């Protein structure tokens, strides 16, 4: 985690995989992510105003995960957060399924020891990562191809490794090819520990 404050991360182009990046601070306080001299993304200081809906009980999230759309078909089964081909300890394995009566998707999450940082708690970069994919499944129940354009996350406090947590995602709005989602993570006591807002964009059709 290179930013100690809340930032909006914007991807300016698809980042190449299996390669290193450098990070430079711009005069306005933004962090620039560079591949060589090419600007790939930027992290801009931001405020996050987001009130999550009621969290389902953990067992409700367990039941919802049985309806995870990725079990039937997954565009990126190797995804670190929600990929179905990831083994335990090799990915977060967050499988968010719909709870129609609450207007959310939800998933249980018991963080693996491989995510541990200080004092038996999950490292902040993994907390932020966990807040990503549930938003996609909240705004793309039809499995529309969407690209993540902007992501703003705030971690209130870190959860413990091995704790029975609940993640939710919900739709914030739709405008043309743009879809906005909110996500949140709750600890084993049902207390809010982190939240995020994401902008997903449907690519233009070729031709």
Residue 138's SS3 state is helix
- Domains of the chain from N-terminus onward: 1-47 (no CATH), 49-201 (3.10.129.10)
Nearest CA to 64 out of 92, 19, 97, 94 is that of: 97
pLDDT of 4 strictly over 70: no
Q: How far is CA 126 from the centre of its chain?
A: 9
Greater model confidence, 146 or 6: 146
Structure tokens that stand for 9 in this block: 């991360």
pLDDT at 206: 57
Nearest CA to 94 out of 136, 57, 153 is that of: 136
Q: Give residue 130's region: left, alpha or beta (phi > 0; psi -120 to 50).
A: alpha
Structure tokens that stand for 34 in this block: 């560079």
List 185's β-bridge partners, or say none: 167, 194
List 35's β-bridge partners, or say none: 38
pTM for the model: 0.87
Distance of alpha carbon 37 from alpha carbon 72, whole angstroms: 41
pLDDT at 58: 97
Angle at 19 between CA 113 and CA 147, to 5 degrees: 80
Question: pLDDT tens across 130-171, in order?
Answer: 999 999 999 998 788 998 999 999 999 999 999 999 999 999
Read off φ and ψ for residue 11, nearest 5 degrees: -90, 125
**What is the pLDDT of the chain when averaged over all its residues?**
90
Question: pLDDT tens across 92-139, in order?
Answer: 999 999 999 999 999 999 999 999 997 999 999 999 999 999 999 999
């Amino acid at each position: 985690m290179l930013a100690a404050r809340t930032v909006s991360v914007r991807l300016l182009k698809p980042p190449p995989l299996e390669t290193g990046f450098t990070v430079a601070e711009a005069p306005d306080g933004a962090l620039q992510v560079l591949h060589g001299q090419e600007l790939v993304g930027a992290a801009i200081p931001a405020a996050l105003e987001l009130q999550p809906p009621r969290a389902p009980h953990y067992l409700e999230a367990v039941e919802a995960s049985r309806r995870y759309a990725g079990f039937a078909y997954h565009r990126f089964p190797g995804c670190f957060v929600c990929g179905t081909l990831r083994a335990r300890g090799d990915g977060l394995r967050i499988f968010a399924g719909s709870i129609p009566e609450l207007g959310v998707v939800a998933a249980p999450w018991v963080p693996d020891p491989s995510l541990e940082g200080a004092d038996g708690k999950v490292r902040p970069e993994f907390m932020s990562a966990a807040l990503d994919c549930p938003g996609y499944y909240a705004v793309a129940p039809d499995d529309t191809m969407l690209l993540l354009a902007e992501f703003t996350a705030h971690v209130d406090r870190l959860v413990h490794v091995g704790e029975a947590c609940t993640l939710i995602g919900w739709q914030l709005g739709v405008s043309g090819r743009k879809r906005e989602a909110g996500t949140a993570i709750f600890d084993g006591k049902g207390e809010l520990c982190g939240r995020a807002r994401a902008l997903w964009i449907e690519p233009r059709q070729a031709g």
